[in-house]
Amino acid sequence: MSAPTLTYPFAGRTVNRMGYGAMQLAGPGVFGPPKDRPAALAVLREAVASGVNHIDTSDFYGPHVTNQIIREALHPYPDDLLIVTKVGAVRGDDGAWLAAQEPGDLRRAVHDNLRNLGLDALDVVNLRVMGNIHEPAEGSIARQVEALARLQQEGLVRHVGLSNVTSAQVAEAQRITQIVCVQNQYNLVQRADDALVDELAGQGIAFVPFFPLGGFTPIQSSGLSALAARVQAAPMQLALAWLLHRSPNLLLIPGTSSIAHLRENIQAAQWALSDAVLAELNAIAAE
Ligand SMILES: NC(=O)c1ccc[n+]([C@@H]2O[C@H](COP(=O)([O-])OP(=O)(O)OC[C@H]3O[C@@H](n4cnc5c(N)ncnc54)[C@H](OP(=O)(O)O)[C@@H]3O)[C@@H](O)[C@H]2O)c1
Tens-digit pLDDT profile for residues 10-40: 999 999 999 999 999 999 999 999 999 999 9
The predicted pLDDT at position 260 comes to 98
61 catalytic? Reply is yes
- How much is the average pLDDT of 109-117? 98
Pocket test for ligand 1, best of 256, 262, 267 (most atoms within 8 A of CB): 256
Q: What is the mean pLDDT of residues 108-135?
A: 96
Kindly tell me if the per-residue pLDDT of 286 is higher than 80: no
- CB count, 10 Å around CB of 256? 22
pLDDT tens for each residue of 256-285: 999 999 999 999 999 899 999 999 999 997
pTM for the whole structure: 0.98
pLDDT at residue 2, as a whole number: 75
What pLDDT was estimated at residue 3? 84
pLDDT-derived band of residue 108, with 50, 70 and 90 as boundaries? very high
DSSP 161-194: EEES--HHHHHHHHTTS-EEEEE-B-BTTB-TTH
Query: Is residue 261 within 6 Å of ligand 1 at its C-beta?
Result: yes
Residue 165's pLDDT band (cuts 50, 70, 90): very high
Please report the domains of the chain, with CATH numbers, ordered by start residue.
Answer: 7-286 (3.20.20.100)
Q: What is the pLDDT of residues 243-254, one digit of tens each?
A: 999 999 999 999
pLDDT above 90 covers a percentage of the chain that reads: 95
pLDDT tens-digit series, residues 137-155? 999 999 999 999 999 999 9
Q: Residue 159 CA to chain centroid, in angstroms?
A: 15
Least confident of 78-82, 180-184, 202-206, 281-285: 281-285
Q: What are phi and psi of 216, to 5 degrees?
A: -60, -30
Q: Which of 213, 224, 252, 262 best tests ligand 1's pocket when mutated (most atoms within 8 Å of CB)?
A: 213
Q: Which residues contact 11 (CB under 8 A, 6 or more apart)?
A: 82, 84, 123, 124, 158, 159, 180, 181
- DSSP-assigned beta bridge partners for residue 160: 125, 179
Q: Tell me how far the alpha carbon of residue 25 lies from the centroid of ligand 1, in angstroms.
A: 10
Q: Kindly state if the Cβ of 189 falls inside 6 Å of ligand 1.
A: no
CA distances (Å), 274 to each of 4, 81, 137, 194, 282, in order? 11, 32, 37, 21, 12
Measured at the CA of 286, the angle between CA 280 and CA 287, to 5 degrees, comes to: 95
- Ligand 1 atom nearest 21 alpha carbon: 45
| Confidence label for 83 from pLDDT (cuts 50, 70 and 90) | very high
Closest CA to ligand 1's atom 27? 256
At 48 the pLDDT is 98
* Band (134; pLDDT cuts 50, 70, 90): confident
